[in-house]
Amino acid sequence: MQKQQFFSVLTGFAGLGVLWIVLLIATKKHPWALAIGEDGRPSTSKLQMLMWTAAVVFAFLAIFQIRYSAGFTDQLPDVPTNLLIAMGISVTTAVAAKSIAVNSSNGTSAPNNAPAPAPPPPAAQVAAVPAGNAPAVANPPAPVASATPAPSKSGIFAGDDGNPDLGKVQLMLWTLIAVGIFLSQVWFAIAHPTCPPAGGPCTQSLDALKLPDIGTTLMILMGLGHGAYIGKKIAES
């Protein structure tokens, strides 16, 4: 690995390290806590957003270092449109999943609209009844114990019952594929900063170096996975 490539990768990992430390100080928890859902279990939607955040932070800083070392200090690396859309989908999915979970929790914790018990008869009416003909007083109904919901067994790939969830598997599958392809393109850009992706002659200027884009087909597949996940969340709530 050349010196320029080494410092580029080092800058990317240093940015992730700083982000890790800031989160640790701000939350006083392990940064993994960012991927924990409302039920205290690992959240699929939060994990995929955390993965995209870490990947883009690493890529942005690594490519910025290459451009900066070459003297292009006046502009930041461009972020392609499809990458912005993919990150927007990731954030939207996490926010929608949290909103659905909060609304569902509020709905289950709301008291039942049970009819109010009949008020006792006035004292004057009770006193007017002869002692020998006193009506029998029925025992008050026993309070109905509220059912305690079973603890959630959900996970990154599992539903609340602990079984594999197809919506979560699909979401994480496309997320892993998209992030993996993105990082491979980032590595190619770091290894060959002046070469075009098609493998042609190295005539590209470092001024044009930017974050890799995500293919439209992959972005659509990833969007379908996110849509299926949110749709299942809405149906279950």
- Whether the per-residue pLDDT at 37 is higher than 50: the answer is yes
Tokens of 185: 């393109």
Q: Could you tell me if residue 42 is inside a domain?
A: yes
Work out how many domains the chain is built from and give that number: 1
Q: Could you tell me if residue 112 is inside a domain?
A: no
Q: Could you tell me if residue 109 is inside a domain?
A: no
Q: Is the CB of residue 205 less than 8 Å from the CB of residue 72?
A: no
**Domain region containing 90:** 35-52+74-104+153-236
Q: Could you tell me if residue 203 is inside a domain?
A: yes
Q: Could you tell me if residue 125 is inside a domain?
A: no
State the Cα–Cα distance between residues 46 and 49, nearest whole angstrom.
Answer: 5
Give the model confidence (pLDDT) of 151-197 as tens digits: 666 777 887 777 878 888 888 899 999 999 999 999 988 887 766 55
Q: Could you tell me if residue 110 is inside a domain?
A: no
Q: What is the pLDDT of residue 127?
A: 46
Q: What mean pLDDT is reported for the chain?
A: 76
- Whether the per-residue pLDDT at 126 is higher than 50: the answer is no
Q: Could you tell me if residue 45 is inside a domain?
A: yes
Q: What is the pLDDT of residue 99?
A: 84
Q: What is the pLDDT of residue 14?
A: 93
Cα four-point dihedral sign 60, 10, 182, 157: negative
- Whether the per-residue pLDDT at 24 is higher than 80: the answer is yes
CA dihedral 21, 24, 26, 29 (to 10 degrees): 180
Q: Could you tell me if residue 61 is inside a domain?
A: no
